């Protein structure tokens, strides 16, 4: 192979590797900057007129045994909590992860609930999801 072509290929490979390293660093910096777990999605099912089940998907990219998403809750927009699910271990190998919260009793006047996740170290925060209760 002529020297000129080898140099071109060498530069092309080096350029590609540099771009890959820079892109990977930027991506990991974004996920590590996340302070709280985020609620990604919620499915709600009515069990009766005032009783509901929730399937909640949470993203917790920094999962470690010392700091992970350890709970989520269903509440109204004013902060009244109707139900909470405590998570007893990290989900480092399962991101995002989905867990349920069954049998949540919610007063008839409430039409929308907010689902919020909690971090073991920082507490509640992050992105929430508002869901309209079926049949209301």
- Do 49 and 26 lie in one domain? The reply is no
- Do 49 and 27 lie in one domain? The reply is no
pLDDT by residue for the chain (136 residues), tens digit each? 676 655 554 554 455 444 433 333 333 334 457 789 999 999 999 998 899 999 999 998 776 777 899 999 999 999 999 999 999 988 888 889 999 999 999 999 999 999 999 999 899 999 999 999 999 9
- Do 122 and 94 lie in one domain? The reply is yes
pTM, rounded to two decimals:
0.74
Structural domain tally of the chain?
2
100: domain CATH number is 2.60.40.2060
The pLDDT assigned to 64 comes to 74
- Do 18 and 58 lie in one domain? The reply is no
- Do 21 and 65 lie in one domain? The reply is no
Give the C-alpha separation, 43 to 112, whole Å: 13
Give the C-alpha separation, 85 to 100, whole Å: 8
- Do 25 and 44 lie in one domain? The reply is no
- Do 75 and 118 lie in one domain? The reply is yes
Whether the ω angle into residue 60 lies within 30 degrees of 0, i.e. cis, is: no
Residues of the domain holding 97: 38-132
Give the C-alpha separation, 58 to 128, whole Å: 10
């Amino acid at each position: 192979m002529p020297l000129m072509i080898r140099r071109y290929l060498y530069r092309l490979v080096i350029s590609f590797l540099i771009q890959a390293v820079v892109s990977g660093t930027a991506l990991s910096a974004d996920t590590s900057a996340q302070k709280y777990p985020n609620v990604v999605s919620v499915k709600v099912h009515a069990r009766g007129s005032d009783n509901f089940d929730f399937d909640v998907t949470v993203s917790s990219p920094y999962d470690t045994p010392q700091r992970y998403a350890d709970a989520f809750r269903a509440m109204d927009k004013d902060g009244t909590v109707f139900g909470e699910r405590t998570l007893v271990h990290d989900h480092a190998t399962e991101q995002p992860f989905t867990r349920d919260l069954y049998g949540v009793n919610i007063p008839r006047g409430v039409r929308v609930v907010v689902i919020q996740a909690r971090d073991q170290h920082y507490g509640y925060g992050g992105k929430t999801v508002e869901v309209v209760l079926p049949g209301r």
